[in-house]
Structure 1
Amino acid sequence: MKKHFTYRIFNIVTVFTVAMFFSCNDSLKQVQKLGISENEPIGVDYNLNLKYTDSGRVSANLISTKALDYSNRDFPFREFVDGVELDVFDEKNQKSVVLADYAIVYSETGLIDMQNNVVITTHDNRVLKTDQLYYDQKNEWLYTNKAVSFKSEQDLINGHGFDSNTKFTNAEVLEVTGIITLEE
């Protein structure tokens, strides 16, 4: 009788233990998120000065005073809340500069959304000004549907919308509202 009672206790304990193990299915991601709100950044970077290299040559230099890292989100991104300056160097080491008061870099899509006082100055003094500009990193394409001002070698062109590759070899202002020819 005592042996039979001991087996019953053992079986009950075993059932509870197995049920407990199967009911606890917290994944590593859930454990890592403990104490971190999904609305808060997982990290904050101050005074960034990042240099990107390609084959030992500096191809870009990113400067920003504050960046928020939201890689803990389902759709991860990095936010530059105090502005950003990006110096881009071509194969001949000629520098073009991109400035914006605010930017978001979406990790999964490779899309960069620059906003407020966006100014691009190329190495050959072409200047694009707008309030919002998107950069598709994969396709190396710049575009916007906002008002723009684009100074080329001979013209100052105003309009709504802009499309171009990163080298500005086929830059096009869309819905042109005015052209001023510059004297040399």
Structure 2
Amino acid sequence: MKFTYRNIFSSIVTILFVTMLFSCEGNLKGVQQMEIPEDAPQAIGAGINLKYTDSGRVVATLRSEKMLDYSNKNFPYREFPDGLIVEFFDEERKKNTVTANYGVIYNNTGLIDLQGDVEVVTSDSTRLTADQLYWDQANNWVFTDHPNTIRFKNGAVNEGMGFDSNQEFTNFRSRSNVGVQILEDENK
């Protein structure tokens, strides 16, 4: 048999093709082994400490031991199974703090669902405690259908089953409640 450049070249191409075919099969098996289950998060974060800024000014911080990111789902969300602490700062650097044992942030709706020993403390010392609390970020609205207690800065206490309020608690609507209200006498 006479060796020509054409025979040598086609032999080399054939050997490379066969080698690539076998190597692809090995990689395919490895990729299949790494396949992520359908219900698994896209990412897992540990020791989260996020700072949200606006024009260089910190407007909020979020701390959590663990975050599960399900942004790969049809209805994307981020879950905080070990709880979270969120601090909000206004233009005057006054701080409002929210804590909960569990939280979910739904990306498409901007709704935040907080559960388990939820506590909100505003900069003027108003304190809200509830089993569950929702915060609509788009409308700056806080609401719940669960039992809750609000202690206002003037000493008034409101215990009820469900309420709606703006996030500053200046427009507050309670569904059913009992409590102590403090009224100032305008004739003084």
Normalised-by-shorter TM-score class:
0.7 to 0.9
Structure 1 unpaired stretches of 5+: 1-30
Does residue 44 of the first structure (1) align with residue 52 of the second (2)?
no
- Count matched residues: 149
Equivalent residue, structure 2, for 1:164: 165
Does residue 155 of the first structure (1) align with residue 172 of the second (2)?
no
Query: Could you tell me whether the CA contact under 8 Å between 1:79 and 1:103 is conserved in 2?
Result: yes
Instruction: Give, as a single letter, the amino acid of the residue that structure 2 aligns with 1:80.
Output: F
Displacement after TM superposition at 1:162 (Å): 1.5
Quote the Cα distance in structure 2 between the aligned partners of 1:134 and 1:181. Answer: 25
Quote the Cα distance in structure 1 between the aligned partners of 2:142 and 2:98. Answer: 12
Displacement after TM superposition at 1:180 (Å): 2.7
Instruction: Give, as a single letter, the amino acid of the residue that structure 1 aligns with 2:46.
Output: Y
Equivalent residue, structure 1, for 2:22: none
Note the 1:89-168 alignment, pairs <5 A: 89-152=89-152, 153-168=154-169
Displacement after TM superposition at 1:181 (Å): 4.8
Q: CA RMSD of the aligned region, Å?
A: 1.5
Instruction: Give, as a single letter, the amino acid of the residue that structure 2 aligns with 1:115.
Output: Q
Query: Could you tell me whether the CA contact under 8 Å between 1:51 and 1:58 is conserved in 2?
Result: yes
Quote the Cα distance in structure 1 between the aligned partners of 2:174 and 2:98. Answer: 18
Displacement after TM superposition at 1:149 (Å): 0.2
Displacement after TM superposition at 1:83 (Å): 0.4
Quote the Cα distance in structure 2 between the aligned partners of 1:180 and 1:138. Answer: 32
Q: TM-score by structure 1 length?
A: 0.77
Structure 1 outlier segments of 4+, above 3 Å = none
Structure 2 unpaired stretches of 5+: 1-30, 183-188
Query: Could you tell me whether the CA contact under 8 Å between 1:156 and 1:181 is conserved in 2?
Result: yes
Query: Could you tell me whether the CA contact under 8 Å between 1:161 and 1:173 is conserved in 2?
Result: yes
Quote the Cα distance in structure 2 between the aligned partners of 1:67 and 1:131. Answer: 21
Q: TM-score by structure 2 length?
A: 0.76
Quote the Cα distance in structure 2 between the aligned partners of 1:101 and 1:149. Answer: 17
